[in-house]
Amino acid sequence: MDLRSQTMFSQLMDILPRYEFTKCVERYDGNHKVQSFSCWSQFLCMAFAQLTYRESLRDIETCLRVMQSKLYHMGIQSVARNTLANANKLRDWRIYADFAQVLIAQARTLYRGDEIGVELEHTVYALDSSTVDLCLSLFPWASFRKRKGAVKLHTLLDLRGNIPSLIIITNGKIHDVNILDELVIEAGAIYIVDRGYVDFERLYGIHQASAFFVTRAKDNCDSRRLYSHPVDKTTGVQCDQTIALNGFYARKHYPQHLRRVRYFDADNNKRLVFLTNNFELPALTIAELYRCRWQVELFFKWIKQHLRIKKFYGNSENAVKVQIWIAIATYVLVLLVKKQMGLAHSPYTILQILSVSLFEKTPILQAFSNDYSESENNDLCNQLLLFD
């Protein structure tokens, strides 16, 4: 089909593996007793809402009805807000979670060769969580504090491409360290976590799975030095030591030796102490790896600023999870567009251009090409100057 006859939204949706989506729907019997508004139509409406930053169900309904004449060419249909609300409330959120995982697997394959700022062959993950505050009276299932509700997005980020390889959505009461029990540890991979995940029994589980971890030591970490290794203090590394834990329970839960690296961050005037079970990498690399953990913070900041995961279209737990997972699928779709089409633009720029061009019948690649931009600028130059 000639891409010039397709809207950009339709071209975007053609990138998605429709067969895999159908398998996800059949797995959970998503279209049972559905007559017209299928799970695919629901996904298209919600993806459209994410791409164009719609504020509410009424906003989605109004926007689609205004563009009624173009919807057929977008592969989407106008929908009443009650229909969409019921679909979000009743259709299993795992349909969209599984489909997002399909897209994540594709993206990780494409970004496998990307650099992370540290020369390593290992797969490197950063694990962290982000809290989305909710009104407890509207979201009573999202318990957090006495008068406050929240959901947590526990995310395992693959630093090659900043792709969320695993997301677990819980209420705000679940402590971060418990998520370590949910991970399927990948042998040979490096897991970077902050001090909130320091639980020596769980960290020893990572060690026994032949994987590595890098974390910051707590201030009250009781240990003794066994060996000191030479370091180049001009790099900021102040010491590189082999240690053993002193506490009864700490020693019981982690009976092996650990490596302690102390690093002085001159830019922020801070002294940082890292713990790891990797004794092969240079001490400076351990410090640089922990610096890479900041990418997961940037991921949370990006999706909260540019996607709809802070205000929700429904109050039920299922509706919230449907919206979050389709937002994640949209984020990964932007990454797929960037890599498959060889775009040099940032994900933010790609999303912004797509958000104002979905109804245009322009090939996506042309929309991001220099020729397209120059032709637009030339047309503007032919206009009369108002201020000269």
Strands (E), 121-231: 124-134, 143-145, 148-158, 163-171, 190-192, 212-216, 223-229
* Residue 155 within a domain: yes
How many angstroms separate the CA atoms of 101 and 272, rounded? 35
Which amino acid is present at 228?
S
Per-residue confidence (pLDDT) for residue 370, from 0 to 100: 54
Buried b (16+ CB within 10 A) or exposed e, 335-354: bbbbbeeebeeebeebbeeb
**Cα torsion through 253, 254, 260, 265, rounded to 10:** -40
Sequence-distant (≥ 6) Cβ neighbours of residue 162 within 8 angstroms: 295, 298, 299
Q: Which residues pair with 124 in a beta bridge?
A: 190
Residue 144 to residue 135: CA distance in whole angstroms: 10
Task: Please report whether residue 65 resides in a domain.
Answer: yes
Q: What confidence score (pLDDT) does residue 210 get?
A: 95
In a domain, 299, yes or no: no
Is 196 inside any structural domain? no
Q: Rounded to whole angstroms, how far apart are CA atoms 328 and 322?
A: 10
Return the biggest CA–CA distance within the chain: 80
Each residue's pLDDT, cut to its tens digit, for the chain (388 residues) gives 555 678 889 999 999 999 999 999 999 999 988 888 899 999 999 999 999 999 999 999 998 888 887 777 677 777 899 999 999 999 999 999 999 999 999 999 999 988 888 888 889 999 999 999 999 999 999 999 888 999 999 999 999 999 999 999 999 999 999 999 999 999 999 999 999 999 999 999 999 999 999 999 998 899 999 999 999 999 999 999 999 999 899 999 999 999 999 999 888 899 999 999 999 999 999 999 999 999 999 999 999 999 999 899 999 999 999 999 999 999 999 999 999 999 999 999 999 999 988 888 888 888 888 544 444 444 444 444 433 3
Quote the domain boundaries for residue 46: 1-115+126-175+312-374
β-strand 190-192 against 212-216: which pairing, if any? parallel
The pLDDT, as a whole number, for residue 4 is: 60
- In this structure, is residue 191 part of a structural domain? no
For residue 4, what are the contacts with CB-CB under 8 A and spacing of at least 6?
A: 361, 362, 363
Q: State the Cα–Cα distance between residues 6 and 74, nearest whole angstrom.
A: 7
Q: Are strands 270-276 and 124-134 parallel, antiparallel or unpaired?
A: unpaired
Distances 268 to 31, 39, 148, 195, 367 between C-alpha atoms, Å: 54, 49, 34, 19, 41
Q: Is residue 369 part of a domain?
A: yes
Query: Is 58 among the domain residues?
Result: yes
Number of H helices, E strands in the chain: 15, 10
Nearest to 230, CA basis, from 245, 215, 241, 246: 241
**What residue spans of 238-316 are helical by DSSP H?**
248-253, 283-292, 294-306
User: pTM for the complete prediction?
Assistant: 0.90
pLDDT given at position 192: 96
First-to-last C-alpha distance (Å) of the chain: 46
Q: What is the DSSP string of 146-171?
A: TTEEEEEEEEEEETTTTEEEEEEEEE
- Residue 375: its H or E element: helix 370-381
**Domains contained in the chain, number:** 1
Q: What is the pLDDT of residue 71?
A: 78
List % helix, strand, coil for the chain (3-state, nearest 5): 45, 20, 35
